Structure 1
Amino acid sequence: MKRWLLKRSKIDTAVMAEELGMKEAVACVLANRGLGERQYARNFMYGTLEDLREPFLMKDMALGIDLIAQGIKENKKIAVYGDYDVDGVMSTTILFRTILRCGGDAIYYVPHRQREGYGLNVEAIEQLAKEGVEVLFTCDNGISALEETQRAKELGMTVVILDHHEPGFLEINGEKKDVLPDADGIIDPKQKDCSYPFSMLCAGGIAYKFALALLNVFGIRDEALEKECLCFGALATVCDIVDLLDENRILVRWGLDEIPKTTNTGLRVLMEETGIVGKHISEYHLGFILGPCINATGRLESGQKAVELFCEEDEAKAREIAKTLVRLNEERKSLTTQATVRAMEYIQRDELSKERVLVLYDVDTHESIAGIVAGKIKERYYRPVIVITSSEDGAKGSGRSIEGYDLFQALFRCKELFSRFGGHAMAAGLSLPKENISVLRKKLNEECQLTKEQMTPILRLEKQLGFAEIDMELAKEIQSLAPFGKENHAPLFGSKSISVDRVDLIGKNKDILRMTLSEEKSGVRMAALSFDGYVEMLNLLKELYPQEECDKMMNGGKIAHKFDFVYSIEINTYNGRSSVQLMIKDFRLSK
């Protein structure tokens, strides 16, 4: 069962639709996204790269550009210090390639996930100093590296931080004050003193802006490099799951247009090796095909290899690296599947599904996939999940949460149990002695206030529609709202009292519902698919009809009862012909 919630907006969507020349259902989606003002809606629908804001509105952007430009001009060795996830890899690639293009002496450094962990570490800084690095330029990390920055300064380095994470803070007289590293320049729109109008850029997006500004300082117009940086910025934005609104939407929308025709050798061969060349590239391909391959290197080997791929111009060498990325991702998928199965068995064996917070300990789970497994278990049971595995110094884990449960605050109340922890409301990481795991499980569950309703998944509907409102024009307008992602999810709609004129079971396992639906009031019939509703429909019919009638209904039959449906509206193209198709997300018997 899922909760259906209909979104509400005070905007007159009929007037808005008329003014913007669109269907009211689409105007309703925009209003629900907080885009009720006409100019905001127009920018969302039609924004271009020219609409990106001036980068120098960001605090320390001009200073950071000056410091890096000075380092280049004085032939100082610059180290771009990144991170092992997609955002870290992409921002590292953007900045490294741009500094080289401007004539700089640069290297890149990506910390090893298992040996070094996230962000700056003193040992790496000291090694870079021995190698002659004079300028340390972080990306996708650094905002909380107080001691590490101090050490870099002691070693005589100029330190520029480019980050998008929340800085640490102190609360003084009820007012929060940022606690920042003593760097020479800090570019991070989440600083309280930064007045940049859009704070949700990822590191890749900020790096893209930085790169274009730096090229401009040196009077370089390199269209190919600029487009490559746009592709990398788009990849980072989708994979870091930041809000796909405002500038993020522009970067992804226009980046998706450039990716299929990219001149970057590494990106091109990775697309070839993953089999997506020639396809219409969407946010799905970035988030679920390319991104996981890039992430897999950081999880199972080193993120350095991914940066190496996107900087390699020799096609044969690039292809070998791309093959390695694909192989590692297949290995990562296998490890994830095995770990998820073990976790499910553990939950069933120990009857843990009754607990409101699932704390699972499995020594055989690779620490780099603990977060992925936690996410899969969370989706299955819809409650907060922490997956813990053994590490060199005890135990290490990752958690994923649901709406209504601030995981970071819950862990903060147990901080005495951890040797290290961090994160935010929906995701967190932690390290702790093994003997504290059972204590953590008990304390989290004793303090958890989640209700049964809160542990029921939510489907948020944009609008209730009559079938007469659904046509190809509407489907195309909805398609124009893509790319979809965080804060701009593919719109869901609902319809009541719908008849199921025919049900067919299709697919390899005959467990996909293909239905013909009709609405009595309008007489309109619609084709519909449900990929995961087979068991629910079968169980529902068994409560109403004898087995023989159920079998008939589920194999080309008509169902006598009427249903309410929640669905997305998509375009199905087959043999050159296109038609509107409803993708069913949930259903229930009409009252």
Structure 2
Amino acid sequence: MNLKKWFITNKYADFYANGKKFNIDPVVARVIRNRDVYDDEIEEYLSMNISFLNNPRDLKDLDKATDIILGKIDEGKKIRVIGDYDIDGVCSTYILQDGIKQVGGIVDYDIPDRVKDGYGINESLIQKAFDEGIDTIITCDNGIAAREQIKYGKELGMTIVVTDHHDVPYEEIAGEKIEKIPEADAVVDAKQLDCPYPFKELCGASIALKFVTILLEKKGIKDWQKYDYLEMAAIATIGDVVELKKENRLIAKLGMDKIKSTINIGLKALIEVTGLSKENISSYHIGFVIGPCLNAGGRLYTAKLALKLFMCHDYEEALKIALELKNLNDRRKEMTEKGVMQAVSIIEEHKYYNDKVIIAYLPDCHESIIGIVAGRIREKYYRPTFILSKGEDAVKGSGRSIESFHMFDEMIKCQDIFEKFGGHAMAAGLSIKEENIEEFRRQMNDNCQLGEADFVEKLQIDVPMPLDYITEKLINDLSVIEPFGKGNTKPVFARKDISVLNLRIMGKNRNVIKMQVREDKYIFDAIYFGNVEKMMTYLKDKFGQYEIEENLMKRRSDKVKLSMAYYPSVNEYMGRKSLQIIVSDYF
């Protein structure tokens, strides 16, 4: 049974006029409008012009923070960058460390161990830095929630600069949000209420990019674009799944274009060992191939391995590190599948799928993969989901949400039961005592205001488009919408009552359905990469076992008809091109 509810997005503009003005198909103009881009924003949306990036100096404390670091460089003080163990933390650490080095700083870095240290800066990392003669710590992709830890560092007499992009912790008093900002020497985070920066959704690496841009400019280096900071910010922007809107989308576009000519030896090596081509890197490759390899180090070994890769100057050594990361990711995939099976077993046994918020405790699940498992469970049941595992000192948890549930705000309501927590609307992390797990489950579900309609996954259709409208030019025009990702999703087209002439199950694991479909006189190949077993059950239930068996034997008829959500593409085989559709949903 198909549980998604289809909606046609109807946002209005003069699509024909915009198509003519910007030399794109009117359908593409309609898709762009559906991404909440207004007529006066289309030029910026389509642009590859770096001048559309916002002024870094609009970030609160950025001038102050860069002056602090430059002052420390002049004094010959030791500086340490402390990042995080995920893709955003690795990329932002690389940018800050390399940028400070470019202007003559004595700088090194440290990244927390996921299991031993947990997320973000902590007292032991601060004590270690102090004992090693570090004068100044600059955080990236963390720090905004570390009030007590930063207070400890200040008591030691250290200088601490925070750069972060996460939501600012707050207390709600008499209906007013009171921010709990750490008392660092400077705090750079666009999400502070009094920060005038016009775009609030930058990832940590993009904040680091802004920081280094001004750092270099103050030292007279105007051509910061020659460094590989843009591609690192792009990789983090896509890999950290921030919204690809406005400035994020431009950073992603510019950085991905720069990857084609990247001089970063480690990035080139990773692209090679994963079988990709740097000339054809897409957001999909970053999100599902490169990103998971970079994250695998922090999950199963150390995030310093990915950072070492980016800092590598010897290609043979880089290839060895890249291969190690790929192997770690392969192992991570196996562990994830096992974790998902365990989680489903527990959820089904205890009927947690009836809860508004699913909270499943897997004591033996490796805490490095609980976020991925949470995401997979969220997809299966379409419920906000927390997966917990037993850590060394406390139970660790990772959450993934649905669109109608702001996970961080909901956690604020029961913050007293956590040892530590942080996150944003769609994802969060936490530490909690084992004896508080049931109370956590109770409070999250008691407080939850979601109704049944919120638990029906929605599929937004951009254009209900007949197959005969598909041309190679349209497909080429659609490329201007890339890179695809959260907030700038791949367009979805749909058509009712498409005849399925025949179908066959393909692939080594029999996980692909290839169909020949017809609308009027037009015949296309159609490919479906989803749940094959589920689709075949649906077809047999709807049209009967006999009819589907006939279809599988390529005996054409017009009895099997489906409404299909799809994306058009060009299939190239043996030098020949043909139009096809990639089916994403059906009923």
Q: Same fold (TM over 0.5)?
A: yes
More off after superposition, 343-352 vs 186-195: 343-352
Aligned partner letter, 2:239: C
1:452-471 matches, within 5 Å, as 452-471=452-471
Q: What is the CA deviation profile of residues 315-339 of structure 1, one whole-angstrom value per residue up to 9, with x for unaligned ones?
A: 3433333233222222222211111
Q: What is the CA deviation profile of residues 443-482 of structure 1, one whole-angstrom value per residue up to 9, with x for unaligned ones?
A: 5445555444322221111121122322111111112211
The structural deviation recorded for 1:509 is 4.5
Q: What is the CA deviation profile of residues 121-164 of structure 1, one whole-angstrom value per residue up to 9, with x for unaligned ones?
A: 12221221222212221111122222222332333322222111
- Determine the C-alpha separation between the residues in 2 that align with 1:60 and 1:410: 29
Q: What is the CA deviation profile of residues 263-308 of structure 1, one whole-angstrom value per residue up to 9, with x for unaligned ones?
A: 2222222222222246611112212122112212212222222222
Match of 1:14 in 2: 16
Match of 1:569 in 2: 568
Match of 1:339 in 2: 339
1:165-184 matches, within 5 Å, as 165-171=166-172, 174-184=175-185
Match of 1:530 in 2: 528
Aligned partner letter, 2:425: A
Match of 2:73 in 1: 72
The structural deviation recorded for 1:21 is 2.6
- Determine the C-alpha separation between the residues in 2 that align with 1:153 and 1:215: 27
Aligned partner letter, 2:205: G
Contact 1:227 1:262 (8 Å CA) reproduced: no
Match of 1:550 in 2: 548
Q: Could you list the runs of 5+ residues in structure 2 that have no partner in the other structure?
A: none
Match of 1:113 in 2: 114
The structural deviation recorded for 1:419 is 3.1
Contact 2:375 2:400 (8 Å CA) reproduced: yes
The structural deviation recorded for 1:172 is 5.2
- Determine the C-alpha separation between the residues in 2 that align with 1:480 and 1:455: 33
Secondary structure (helix, strand or coil) at the match of 1:156 reads coil
1:363-512 matches, within 5 Å, as 363-445=363-445, 448-512=448-512
- 4+ residue segments displaced more than 6 Å: none
The structural deviation recorded for 1:167 is 1.6
Aligned partner letter, 2:546: E
Secondary structure (helix, strand or coil) at the match of 1:378 reads helix
1:217-232 matches, within 5 Å, as 217-220=218-221, 226-232=226-232
- Determine the C-alpha separation between the residues in 1 that align with 2:531 and 2:290: 29
Aligned partner letter, 2:138: F
- Determine the C-alpha separation between the residues in 2 that align with 1:484 and 1:453: 27
- Determine the C-alpha separation between the residues in 2 that align with 1:293 and 1:117: 20
Secondary structure (helix, strand or coil) at the match of 1:90 reads helix
More off after superposition, 246-255 vs 418-427: 418-427
For the pair 1:304 / 2:304, whether they are aligned, the reply is yes
Contact 1:533 1:586 (8 Å CA) reproduced: no
Contact 2:9 2:463 (8 Å CA) reproduced: yes
- Determine the C-alpha separation between the residues in 2 that align with 1:512 and 1:321: 33
Match of 1:327 in 2: 327
Contact 1:513 1:533 (8 Å CA) reproduced: no
The structural deviation recorded for 1:537 is 4.3
Contact 1:87 1:239 (8 Å CA) reproduced: yes
Aligned partner letter, 1:384: P
For the pair 1:164 / 2:155, whether they are aligned, the reply is no
Match of 2:317 in 1: 317
Secondary structure (helix, strand or coil) at the match of 1:261 reads coil
Aligned partner letter, 1:532: G
RMSD: 2.4
Match of 1:267 in 2: 267
Match of 1:128 in 2: 129
Contact 1:23 1:474 (8 Å CA) reproduced: yes
- Determine the C-alpha separation between the residues in 1 that align with 2:316 and 2:217: 33
More off after superposition, 376-385 vs 529-538: 529-538
Secondary structure (helix, strand or coil) at the match of 2:228 reads helix
For the pair 1:3 / 2:1, whether they are aligned, the reply is no
Secondary structure (helix, strand or coil) at the match of 1:161 reads strand
Match of 1:254 in 2: 254
The structural deviation recorded for 1:439 is 4.2
Contact 1:84 1:303 (8 Å CA) reproduced: yes
- Determine the C-alpha separation between the residues in 2 that align with 1:61 and 1:416: 32
- Determine the C-alpha separation between the residues in 2 that align with 1:186 and 1:440: 31
Secondary structure (helix, strand or coil) at the match of 1:69 reads helix
Contact 2:6 2:460 (8 Å CA) reproduced: yes
- Determine the C-alpha separation between the residues in 2 that align with 1:89 and 1:318: 16
Secondary structure (helix, strand or coil) at the match of 1:195 reads coil
Contact 2:166 2:191 (8 Å CA) reproduced: yes
- Determine the C-alpha separation between the residues in 2 that align with 1:327 and 1:533: 26
Aligned partner letter, 2:576: R
Distance 1:113 1:474, change over 3 A: same
For the pair 1:144 / 2:142, whether they are aligned, the reply is no
Contact 2:543 2:560 (8 Å CA) reproduced: no
- Determine the C-alpha separation between the residues in 2 that align with 1:533 and 1:519: 24
The structural deviation recorded for 1:554 is 2.6
Q: TM-score, normalised by structure 2?
A: 0.93
Secondary structure (helix, strand or coil) at the match of 1:419 reads strand
Contact 1:137 1:162 (8 Å CA) reproduced: yes
Distance 1:181 1:452, change over 3 A: closer
Q: What is the CA deviation profile of residues 242-276 of structure 1, one whole-angstrom value per residue up to 9, with x for unaligned ones?
A: 11122221221121122243222222222222222
Distance 1:74 1:570, change over 3 A: same
More off after superposition, 260-269 vs 365-374: 260-269
- Determine the C-alpha separation between the residues in 2 that align with 1:273 and 1:425: 35
- Determine the C-alpha separation between the residues in 2 that align with 1:176 and 1:439: 25
Q: TM-score, normalised by structure 1?
A: 0.92
Q: Could you list the runs of 5+ residues in structure 1 that have no partner in the other structure?
A: none
Contact 1:138 1:162 (8 Å CA) reproduced: yes
For the pair 1:95 / 2:96, whether they are aligned, the reply is yes
- Determine the C-alpha separation between the residues in 2 that align with 1:184 and 1:203: 19
More off after superposition, 439-448 vs 565-574: 439-448
Secondary structure (helix, strand or coil) at the match of 2:116 reads coil
Contact 1:102 1:218 (8 Å CA) reproduced: yes
More off after superposition, 396-405 vs 503-512: 503-512
Match of 2:201 in 1: 200
Distance 1:542 1:125, change over 3 A: closer
Q: What is the CA deviation profile of residues 531-569 of structure 1, one whole-angstrom value per residue up to 9, with x for unaligned ones?
A: 226434433443455533320113323341433211122
Percent sequence identity is: 38
Distance 1:475 1:290, change over 3 A: same
The structural deviation recorded for 1:493 is 1.2
Distance 1:294 1:542, change over 3 A: closer
Contact 1:7 1:462 (8 Å CA) reproduced: yes
